[in-house]
Amino acid sequence: MFNYKWALGTLLALAACSPFEENKPDTGLPPTPDQVSFSYAPTSRSTNVIEFENTSEVGFTAVWDFGNGSTAQGDKVEAEFPFKGDYKVTLTIMNNGGKASNSQIITLEQDDLSLVESDEYKFLTGGVEALNGKNWVVDKTRPGHMANSESADKVEWWSAGPLEKEGTGLYTDVYNFNIFGSVYTHTTNGKVFVNGAYGDDFTNTEPQEDDYSAAYEDYQATWGLVEKEDGYYIVLSNGADKAWLGYYAGPTEYKILNLEENELYVSFFDAKMNGYWFHRLIPEGYEPDPLPETPEYDYSNFSQDFENPDFEWGPFPMDMPNFEIISNPAPDEVNSSGTVGKYVTDEGVQWQKLPILFDNKVDLSVKNKVKMKVYFPLDNSYDNFEVGGERNPLNTTAAVWFQNRESGEPWTSEVKLTQTVEQGDQWVELEFDFSQWVGPTEFDQLWIILGNEGHFKASTFYLDDIEIL
pLDDT per residue over 412-467, tens digit each?
889 999 999 999 999 999 999 999 988 888 898 899 999 998 787 899 999 999 99
pLDDT confidence of residue 346: 83
What is the end-to-end Cα distance of the chain in Å, rounded? 47
Average pLDDT over residues 72-86: 86
Domain 296-468: give its CATH code: 2.60.120.260
pLDDT confidence of residue 240: 67
> Is it the case that residue 198 has pLDDT exceeding 50?
yes
Domain topology for 118-283: Lipocalin (2.40.128)
pLDDT per residue over 133-186, tens digit each?
999 999 998 888 999 888 888 877 778 888 889 999 999 999 999 988 788 999
Domain 13-112: give its CATH code: 2.60.40.10
Q: What are the residue ranges of CATH 2.60.120.260 in the chain?
A: 296-468
pLDDT per residue over 312-355, tens digit each?
666 555 557 788 899 999 999 999 999 999 999 888 776 778 88
Most confident of the ranges 17-26, 118-127, 358-367, 393-402: 393-402
Q: What are the residue ranges of CATH 2.40.128 in the chain?
A: 118-283
> Is it the case that residue 411 has pLDDT exceeding 50?
yes
Dihedral of alpha carbons 160, 163, 166, 170, sign = positive
Q: What are the residue ranges of CATH 2.60.40.10 in the chain?
A: 13-112
Q: In angstroms, what CA-CA distances link 436 with 12, 96, 356, 432?
A: 62, 68, 21, 11
State the pLDDT confidence band at 255, using cuts at 50, 70 and 90: very high
Residue with more model confidence, 37 or 350: 37
pLDDT confidence of residue 159: 81
Contacts 24+ apart (CB under 8 A), 24-27: 24/56, 24/57, 24/58, 24/59, 24/60, 25/57, 25/58, 26/58, 26/59, 26/60, 26/95, 26/96, 26/97, 27/58, 27/95, 27/97
pLDDT confidence of residue 21: 42
The overall average pLDDT reported for the chain is 85
